[in-house]
A = this chain, B = another copy of it.
Amino acid sequence: MVFLPLLLTIWLNQIVNSTKMNSIKKDNTEDKILDAATEVFLEKGMEGSRMQEIADSAGINKALLHYYFRNKEKLFDAILSKIMNIAFPQIGKVLFSDLPFTQKVENVIDIYIQLLLKHPQLPSFLIKEMNRNGSLLFQFIEKQQFKIAPIIDAIEAAMDRGEIIKMPPKHLIVNIISLCVFPFAARPMVKNVACNGDDKLLQEFLKERKKEVKAFVIRAIQPQ
Name A's B-contacting residues (CB within 8 A): 3, 5-6, 44, 47-48, 121, 124, 126-128, 130-132, 138, 141-142, 144-146, 148, 165, 167-168, 170-171, 173-175, 177-179, 181-183, 185-190, 192-194, 197, 205, 208-209, 212-213, 215-217, 219-221
Contact = CB atoms under 8 A, between A and B. Distances in A.
A102 to B, nearest CB: 14
Given A179-B178, A182-B182, A219-B220, A131 B188 contact: yes
Given A3-B186, A3-B193, A189-B3, A213 B175 contact: yes
A194 B182 contact: no
A194 B170 CA distance: 6
Given A212-B168, A219-B165, A141 B185 contact: no
A166 B193 CA distance: 21
Contacts of A174: 182-183, 190, 194, 209
A130 B171 CA distance: 27
Contact of A189 (B141, B175, B213): B141
B173 A194 contact: yes
A221 B220 CA distance: 8
A189 B148 CA distance: 12
Contacts of A47: 47-48
Contacts of A197: 142
Nearest to A221: B219
B192 A146 contact: yes
Given A48-B132, A124-B128, A167-B215, A183 B187 contact: no
A131 to B, nearest CB: 4
21 contacts: A3-B186, A3-B193, A48-B132, A124-B127, A130-B186, A130-B189, A141-B188, A142-B197, A144-B192, A145-B192, A167-B212, A167-B216, A171-B209, A171-B216, A174-B182, A174-B183, A175-B213, A177-B182, A178-B178, A178-B179, A220-B220
